[in-house]
Amino acid sequence: MVDRLRDRGTADDRVFDEAHRIVRWHYEWVVVNEFLPISAGDEVVADVLNNGRRFYDPRENPAIPVEFSDAAYRFGHS
């Protein structure tokens, strides 16, 4: 991505931030559109995307339980 941005003429002082933004966007897109429908189901993903989240408010204290992060890591690498 850095090479592509440089080829397109992106200024050197902006290349990393722009590459970071684009790569993150693509990763998030893959998670929402590929990974979550397979692991949580199309209906659950559609419900959250259309109606918002009901059980998590990241404005308070954004964190996840250690047990969940470990389980998610193991699930993702199985």
The ranges assigned to domains in the chain are 2-76
Q: What is the pTM of this model?
A: 0.64
> Using an 8 Å Cβ cutoff, are 18 and 5 in contact?
yes
Distance in angstroms (rounded) separating the CA atoms of residues 7 and 37: 35
Please report the beta strands in the chain, taking only residues with DSSP state E, as ranges in sequence order: none
Distance in angstroms (rounded) separating the CA atoms of residues 1 and 18: 9
Q: What is the pLDDT along the chain (78 residues), one digit of tens a residue?
A: 999 999 999 999 999 999 999 999 999 999 999 999 998 999 999 999 999 988 877 887 788 778 788 887 777 666
Distance in angstroms (rounded) separating the CA atoms of residues 36 and 40: 5
